[in-house]
Structure 1
Amino acid sequence: MNDVMTALAAVAPLASGWAWHGVTMRRRLAAARRDPLSGLPTRAAFERRADRALARGQHVVIVMDLDGFKGLNDAFGHAAGDAAIRVTAMSLTGFLNGRRGSVAARLGGDEFAAVVPVTDRVALPWLLGGLHGAVTAPFRYSGRDLAVGASIGACVTSDLPVASLSLALRRADEAMYEAKRAGGGWRIAEGPALTHTTTAGRRTGRPGTSRGEAA
């Protein structure tokens, strides 16, 4: 019995070390799937989850760009821009909270996307208007009230010939561009696709969205 207890005592630290290693690896893998600034899923993680969601029924696919982001960066510095990204992510997450099956992500720069289940498209104006209001609300930074605008494009998957995420993102992106040209707000993709060529599901020639660029 003493020999058994001695052996277990010798193995325990090794087992504990492997257990901690496993926890660390899981945490690192989870972190790799999250954008470090916003805390939202990265594009790759978003696409995997969104593909599964679209297979379960009708959804609205949303693409959103912040308006006035470059001006905020120029006037108040990149730290203020980072704060705007974090606040936008929190507003987006908070607005979608409770909408079971929703998936949101930061695609890069000041660009975000979401996939939300929708059973009644009559409610879409309320959904998109509410989202726009949530992400454009002023936020506090260094004793100042700051705000950014937003242009939102949406595509309902049942309007597509096939529930393809890449096609839905393209159509939502086109609708977002139309909203941006009109000065912001939201638009729902309707009718045939526009004539823009696309690259990797995005409109070719679309303005850059890296941090600090106007979009």
Structure 2
Amino acid sequence: MSHLVTATAAVAPLLTGWSATTWWLHRRLHQARLDPLSGLPTRAHFEKGVERLLRRRVPVTLVVIDLDGFKALNDTHGHLAGDAAITATGSRLNRWAAAHAERWVAARLGGDEFAAALTIPHAEGVPGALGTLHENLCAAVPFEGRTLVLGASVGAVWSPHWPLAGRSRLLRGADEAMYAVKRAGGGWRIARSDHIAVASVNGRRPGRPGTHPMGGAR
């Protein structure tokens, strides 16, 4: 028995070390998938999350968001104010998705662009959800004793059944709806069909974040 106790005592530090190393590696991998400002997944992790939702063959709503007035906010109040706006937007988007769906994934695509995919079972529920999202995103952001005011342009696509290969089409539809409402001065819009009028690369208009080739279903 004493030999067993001695052997266990000798091995214990090694096991503890391996556990700590494994935990550290898992934490680093988790952090690498998240944008440090918004706390949301990055584009690559978002695309994987969308694919998982589509595999479930359930109605999926995909939303693309572009903040309005973000450059002016940075120029006027500085980049720390812009960082505060990004952080607040990430938190608001994630809370909104969690309140409106059983399953969802939200992400910061880059710059002041965000996206979310969530399971909303009925098309009738999408307008109200988008209205709430737009209201939340446009709420003032507290920063150093003052408030920052931003707008948002929100485009969305709802699909009752979309094949896995349609992920880029969903992104294109939501992106086009967002772009149309942005040109009209902001607000939200739902794409009414899967007809895409604007040329795109990897689900985004040319020149937008994420238009460089990436792996995955197209």
Would the TM-score normalized by the shorter structure come out above 0.5? yes
In structure 2, the residue matched to 1:89 is 90
Distance 1:35 1:27 in 2: 14
Unaligned runs of 5+ in 1: 210-215
Q: Which amino acid aligns with 2:114?
A: F
Residue identity in the other structure for 1:51 = E
What is residue 106 of structure 1 aligned with on the other side? 108
Aligned partner of 2:76 in structure 1 is 75
Which residue of the partner structure matches residue 17 of structure 1? Answer: 17
Q: CA deviation at 1:148?
A: 0.8
Aligned residue identity for 1:24:
W
> Aligned pair 1:61/2:62, yes or no?
yes
Amino acid at match of 1:69: F
1:21 deviation in Å?
0.7
CA contact (8 A) 1:153 1:186 kept: yes
Instruction: Please list every run of at least 4 consecutive aligned residues from structure 1 whose deviation after the TM superposition is greater than 4 angstroms.
Output: 159-163
Which residue of 2 is the match for residue 213 of structure 1? none
Amino acid at match of 1:42: T
Percentage of identical aligned residues: 50
Structure 1 partner of 2:213: none
Q: Which has the higher contact order (CA 8 A, sep 6+)?
A: 1
Matches of 2:167 and 2:14, distance apart in 1: 46
CA distance in 1, matches of 2:164, 2:3: 66
The alpha-carbon deviation at position 55 of structure 1 amounts to 2.3
Are 1:62 and 1:113, in contact at CA under 8 Å, matched by a contact in 2?
Answer: yes
Residue 8 of structure 1: aligned partner = 8
- The Cα of 1:29 is off from its aligned counterpart by 1.1
Q: Deviations over 1:104-135 (max 9, x none)?
A: 11111110001121222122211111000001
Q: Is residue 117 of structure 2 the alignment partner of residue 115 of structure 1?
A: yes
State the SS of the aligned residue for 1:12.
helix
Q: Which residue of 2 aligns with 1:152?
A: 154
Q: Which secondary structure state, in structure 1, belongs to the residue aligned with residue 114 of structure 2?
A: strand
Q: What is the CA distance between 1:173 and its match in structure 2?
A: 0.3
Alignment correspondent of 1:171: 173
Distance 1:106 1:205, change over 3 A: closer
TM-score by length of 1: 0.90
Match in the other structure for 1:203 = 205
Q: TM-score, normalised by structure 2?
A: 0.89
CA shift, 1:3, in A, is 2.7
Give distance in 1, aligned partners of 2:139 and 2:47. 28
Instruction: Mark the CA change 1:119 to 1:4 in structure 2 (over 3 Å): closer, same or farther.
Output: closer
Task: Kindly report the root-mean-square deviation, in angstroms, between the aligned alpha carbons of the 2 structures.
Answer: 1.9
Deviation at 1:36?
1.0
Distance 1:166 1:72, change over 3 A: same
User: What is the letter of the counterpart of residue 192 of structure 2?
Assistant: E
Indicate conservation of the 8 Å contact 2:40/2:90, yes or no: yes
